[in-house]
Structure 1
Amino acid sequence: MMVPSMTRSELKAACLALLDRAAVEHPAGHQGKMAARYVLRAGSNERIGLMFEKSEKTKAYLWIERRFAHGLVSRDIDHRCYPANELYKAAKEGEKPAYGRHAGLKAMRDLANADLVRFEIVRLEQLKTILSILASPSA
């Protein structure tokens, strides 16, 4: 018997509950209905900034600084890299340069201008895996 998958809003609610248990709110705070900002303590005792897109209009995206994502990009989780050197580029010739990332990242000094990876979470187990790897002593 197949277990029905979660709706986007159910998945996001479950992800937020998991993040609330595993991490603390980022000093920049959460961003209303758009983004939840967190700090996770790595197994190496480093602080890892995380931002989760909680808007109903977007997929469940988790943003992490690329230097912490090295053990995650080879997993079965779709991701996209956002290099810092591509910030503030015009989308088209003659247009004004734009930030090029989720605006909720701008308030996070640790993530705003860093090389980032954005993971698309489609199953709660994927987020559990990410948090487990980040919190491991080798992270």
Structure 2
Amino acid sequence: MLFEVTNQIRVPDLVEGQQWYEKLLRKKPDFIPHEGFVEWEVIPGFWLQLAEGAPAENSGPFRIGVTDLEATKDFLIEELGIAPFDIHSREEVPVKWGTFEDPWGNGVGFYEYHDKKEEEERLNLLYK
């Protein structure tokens, strides 16, 4: 039975990386098991692991669902200095999405459901 997911990304300076990801995720790490490694439980059952080391070439993107992609994009540009990026949408895809890179070249993105009823159903499943 599958029940959790982790995604690990690497940054060359963990202190700098941790500070950046704290701003991105808007919270402190949930778990610091040892030196050179921190973890956030982004949503129940999904852990983002940040490790000190050389970033993997062409890493990601990992994408996180949000309820307001435009506001998230504005936050990223204003607070984290991310270069403006496009928001994409296709008729056959139930979400719109935007992708960018962290300062170390790791692919990151966010997406938002077009159908707010579907979004609410998914949130209810997640947080029931």
Which TM-score applies when normalising by structure 1?
0.32
With CA pairs under 8 Å and 6+ residues apart, which has the higher RCO, 1 or 2?
1
Instruction: Pick the structure with more strand per residue.
Output: 2
